[in-house]
Amino acid sequence: MTLGGDISSALPVLRAEAESRMDEVVLVGRFKDGTDPETGDPTRMMETERYDGIGRIRWGSREVSNSQATGSPAAMQEPYLSVPFGTARFFTDDEVECTGSTDPLLVGRRFKVSGGASAGQVTAYRYPLEELS
């Protein structure tokens, strides 16, 4: 057996394990501004839906340096979204709304996809996000 063969045969099990950790329900697509006809309050309405299903939103840390500043590198936390392998592709500037989660602090938060997903021999597609205020 080869390393490539070992990895290929393990990926289905590893993908199932990755999905088992997806505790959020997310709605992904293009939204547009609207107005509630009864209250007149502003709303965000789905214009083009790409995905409505399970996912995992979490923050990853990375070290960055600023050559203009003194001292050591700063740590930045960036959110990203993991969705099951085989999910339809999302595009930069698609919006992500967390509609359900085991963590109540995530419910209702909105994000924007800020880049492409990792792809290939992966256990899940992971998209970098920017949180919308």
The predicted pLDDT at position 27 comes to 97
- Higher-confidence residue of 48 and 66: namely 48
Instruction: Return the pLDDT at 129.
Output: 97
Rounded distance, CA 98 to CA 106, Å? 6
Q: Determine if the pTM surpasses 0.85.
A: no
Asked whether residue 44 carries a pLDDT value surpassing 90, the answer given is no
What's the CA gap between 53 and 86, in Å, rounded? Answer: 13
Q: What is the pLDDT of residues 1-34, one digit of tens each?
A: 799 889 889 999 999 999 999 999 999 999 999 9
> Each residue of 61-100: pLDDT tens digit?
655 555 566 666 666 679 999 999 999 999 999 999 999 9
Class of domain 3-132: mainly beta
Q: Residue 83 contacts by C-beta under 8 Å, 6 or more apart in sequence?
A: 22, 26, 28, 51, 53, 54, 55, 56, 90, 124, 125, 127
CA distance 22 to 94: 20
Give residue 9's region: left, alpha or beta (phi > 0; psi -120 to 50).
alpha
Per-residue pLDDT, 63:
59
Hunting for tokens 């602090």 — which residue is that? 105
